[in-house]
Chain A
C-alpha cells in the first residue's frame, strides 16, 4: 500500500481555490452540526475530511455541495459565491444513493449526464462506456431496484463523475464498495486530480484516505482539529510498528521489553500491545520470548500506524468505536 502520496501539489499562484470555506458553520436546533471551519481545496488537490460518526463531515459536505446554507461564514467556489454557477461544475455523491428505482441504471445515468453538461448529452455509447468503467455494463438495462447495495453505490459514483466535474464532493465514497472497486476509485480520483480537478471527500476509511488524499482535515464534534498533508501526519507518528499478542497465561512483559527495538509494552484485557521499531527478526524474537517463558502464542496482529492513530493522538479518542 502506498502511503501519503507525497507532498501536495502546489496550486498555480493566480488560480483561485476551487473551494474556499471561511468560518463555515451549520448548527441544528439540537446544537449538533459543524463549524466554524476554514477549508480550502485547490485544483489538482485531494482533501479528505476524516472524523467519527456525528463529527459533522456530512453536514459540512452538504454546505460545500450547495444543498444547505451555512448558519454563519461563507463558501466560495473558484472565488465566486454564486451557488447556481457553482452547481454546473460540481460532481456530488452523497452518502445515500437515491435513484429512480424502476428505471434502469443506464436511464438514471442518462438523466444525470443530460443535466450535468456532458458534451455528448445522452449518447448511449458514451454512457455505456461510463458504466463499463464502474463494472455495471452487464446490468445497464436492469431496473435499479434489482441492484445490490454495492452496485447502487457504483452507479452513484458513475453519475457523480460522468461529466468530468471540476470539483468532486463525495460523502463516504467507499461504503458498499469491494476492495477492487475502492482501489479503482482511489486511482480514478488521483487521475482526475492529476488532470486538474479538485476533490473533497468525507470518509471514515483511513486506508482509502491514505491512498487517495494529499491532505486530511480531522473533524471532531464539528470542529476542525487538524488540517495537514497526509505525509506530515504520518511522519509525526514516527515509524513504530504495533504488535498485538494473545497467549495462554500472563504475557512475559519484562522479557518482551528487553527485546531489541521495542519501545513500549502494555497489558490490555485482551493480551499485550507492543510497539517497536521495524527490524528483521522482530516477530521471530517475540515468539521466541514467549516460548522461553513457556507461553503458547494464540494470536498475533501486526499493524503499521495509520491516520486513525493520528486521530487518537490528537483527540484522545479512537476514530471508530
Chain B
C-alpha cells in the first residue's frame, strides 16, 4: 500500500529538504534546462572548464606573440572547446542508457538534437566569451571588429558542437570520439588556412571560403593587430550567421542518429 503523505507533511519535509538541496533547484521542463542544470551542479568541473582556457589566453595576449600564431592557437582552442565536450558527453549518455530513455519519449529527434546542442553551446558560450572578452579587453580593437569576432566565436562554438554531435552519432566510445575529432578537425583547420595561410587562388582558396574557422582565424588576427589576407567585418558577421544556422540545421538532422532510435 502506498505511503500517503498529506500536503502538511509534504510542506514540512520540503522545509527540511531546502536546507540541503543541491544548487540549482528549478524544475526543468526542457532537455536543455536539465542538461544545463547538471553542468551547473558540477561546480568544480565547471570552474576548471571556465578557467583552463585562460591559462593559454593570458600569455598569448599579454606577450608579443605573433598575431598569425596567436590567432591560430585561439581558433584551435575555441574549436576544441565546442567539439570535445559535446561528443564525449553524448557518447557517455548513450552508454549509460540515458539516450534510450529519451528515445521512447514523445520528442522529435530534431528537437532532441537541437536541445543537446543548445545545452552544450550555452556553457561553451560563457567559456568562449571569457576568452574573447579577455582578448578584447587587452587589445581594445574597434568596437565593430570586436563585436564581429565575438559573434564568430559563438558561431564556431555552435558548429564545433554540431561536429561533436556528428561524431557521437558515429561512435560508441569516448576514446573513439576523441580520435574521430582529431581526424576530422586537423584537415578542416588546415584547409581553413590556420597553419599556412589561405592561398590567393585555387581549390584551397574556395574551400577556405566555406569554412567558418577561416573567418574566426582572420578575425582574431585583426583584433591582435595582424594583417588578415582577406575579408572585412560585415562579411565576417554574415559568415557567423550562416555558420550558426548550419549548426542548428545539422543538430536537428543528427537527432535521430544520435538517439539511435529506429523509426
Interface residues of A (CB under 8 A from B): 65-69, 83-84, 87-88, 90, 92, 94, 96-104, 106-108, 110-112, 114-117, 121-122, 124-125, 127-129, 132-135, 137-138, 140-143, 184, 187-188
Contacts and interface: CB of A to CB of B under 8 A. Distances in A.
A121 B27 CA distance: 10
A110 B1 CA distance: 24
B81 to A, nearest CB: 21
A65 to B, nearest CB: 5
Given A106-B27, A107-B28, A100 B35 contact: yes
Given A104-B21, A128-B14, A116 B263 contact: no
B25 A141 contact: yes
20 contacts: A65-B104, A67-B103, A94-B97, A100-B98, A102-B42, A103-B37, A103-B38, A107-B37, A108-B34, A110-B27, A110-B28, A111-B28, A111-B31, A125-B7, A128-B10, A128-B13, A128-B14, A140-B13, A184-B1, A184-B2
Contacts of B238: none
Contacts of B106: 84, 87-88, 115-117
B143 interface: no
A143 B41 contact: yes
A133 B105 contact: no
Contacts, number: 129
B22 A142 contact: yes
A317 to B, nearest CB: 29
Nearest to B28: A111
Given A65-B104, A67-B103, A83-B263, A142 B7 contact: no
Interface string B195-217: 00000000000000000000000
A67 B93 CA distance: 16
Contacts of A142: 17, 20, 22
Given A67-B262, A92-B104, A115-B105, 4 more contacts: A98-B93, A98-B101, A102-B41, A111-B31
B258 to A, nearest CB: 14
Contacts of A188: 2
Nearest to B96: A98
A134 to B, nearest CB: 8
Contacts of A111: 28-31, 33-34
Contact of A132 (B4, B31, B39): B4
B100 to A, nearest CB: 6
B5 interface: yes
B139 interface: no
Interface residues of B, number: 44
B37 A100 contact: yes
Contacts of B100: 67, 94, 96, 98
B183 interface: no
Interface string B87-109: 00000010011101101111110
Given A103-B38, A106-B27, A143-B22, A112 B105 contact: yes
Contacts of B96: 96, 98
A69 B263 contact: yes
> SS class of chain B's interface: helix, strand, loop or mixed?
loop
A233 B163 CA distance: 55
Contacts of A112: 105
A98 B97 CA distance: 5
A99 B100 CA distance: 11
Interface in B205-245: none
9 nearest CB pairs, A to B:
A96-B97, A98-B97, A69-B262, A102-B41, A110-B27, A141-B21, A102-B38, A114-B29, A132-B5
A116 B105 contact: yes
Contact of B18 (A87, A141, A184): A141
Nearest to A191: B2
B2 A140 contact: no
Interface string B102-143: 011111100000000000000000000000000000000000
A263 B38 CA distance: 62
A295 to B, nearest CB: 45
A137 B21 contact: no
Contacts of B41: 102-103, 143
Contact of B37 (A102, A122, A141): A102
A89 to B, nearest CB: 9
Nearest to B27: A110
Contacts of A125: 7, 10
Contacts of A116: 105-106
Contacts of A135: 3
B6 to A, nearest CB: 9
B192 to A, nearest CB: 35
A94 B17 CA distance: 29
B169 to A, nearest CB: 16
A104 B100 CA distance: 20
Name the residue in A68, A98, A110 with the highest tally of chain B Cβ atoms < 10 Å from its Cβ: A98
B106 to A, nearest CB: 4
Nearest to A93: B101
Nearest to A104: B22
Nearest to B33: A111
Contacts of A108: 34
Contacts of A138: 13, 17
B3 A132 contact: yes
